[in-house]
């Protein structure tokens, strides 16, 4: 028997795990993006008077939208740098030492090693960074665009 026939069940299980991992990645990313969006909206709405002051002083709506969107993008870059600062050592340690599995892991019907070693691909890391930066910029743009439509006097009054 060939190796591909002997490992068919294992390869099918790995494909199912990859699909499950992608779904979990999507759920976690959606939760993180919801938190980012909520924070950005709250921050922008609290700064209505600042936006009204800038518009009253002569700043155009386009410049105002650009300014606050750029600020959100820069905050996204700062978040990536901070996440790299504390996340990279954790990822490196888990790559070197692995993740210990509980003793009950052998109840799954197949043999698992006691220590699993995660694989962090460059595509996964760069893709996550890219998605976060794009979404942070978009979530900075959406609420500012709505607030820039206000009259400067209404924004100054906090309405």
pLDDT tens per residue, range 41-95: 788 778 888 888 888 888 888 998 898 889 888 988 998 899 899 989 998 998 8
Encoding tokens for residue 125? 């890391």
Range list of β-strands (E), 73-157 = 99-100, 115-116
pLDDT tens per residue, range 15-49: 777 788 889 888 988 888 788 778 877 887 788 88
Encoding tokens for residue 156? 């100054």
Range list of β-strands (E), 7-137 = 99-100, 115-116
Q: Is the pLDDT assigned to residue 136 strictly greater than 80? A: yes
**Per-residue pLDDT at 131:** 85
- Residue 103: pLDDT band (50, 70, 90) is low
Encoding tokens for residue 76? 């996204």
Q: Are 48 and 144 in contact (CB under 8 A)?
A: no
- Residue 112: pLDDT band (50, 70, 90) is low
**Per-residue pLDDT at 111:** 65
Residue range 128-140: mean pLDDT, rounded: 85
Per-residue burial over 92-114, b if 16 or more Cβ lie within 10 Å, else e, is eeeeeeeeeeeeeeeeeeeeeee
């Amino acid at each position: 028997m060939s190796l591909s026939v002997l490992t068919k069940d294992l390869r099918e299980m790995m494909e199912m795990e990859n699909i499950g991992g992608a779904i979990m990645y999507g759920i976690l990313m959606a939760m993180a993006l919801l938190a980012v969006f909520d924070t950005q909206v709250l921050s922008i709405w609290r700064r209505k008077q600042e936006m009204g002051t800038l518009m009253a002083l002569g700043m155009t709506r386009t410049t105002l939208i650009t300014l606050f969107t750029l600020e959100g993008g820069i905050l996204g870059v700062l978040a990536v740098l901070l996440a790299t600062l504390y996340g990279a050592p954790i990822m490196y340690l888990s790559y070197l030492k692995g993740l210990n599995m509980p003793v009950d892991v052998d109840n799954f019907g197949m043999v698992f090693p006691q220590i699993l070693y995660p694989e962090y691909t460059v595509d996964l890391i760069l893709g996550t960074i890219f998605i976060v930066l794009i979404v942070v910029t978009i979530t900075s743009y959406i609420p500012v665009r709505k607030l820039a439509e206000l009259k400067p006097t209404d924004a100054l009054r906090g309405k």
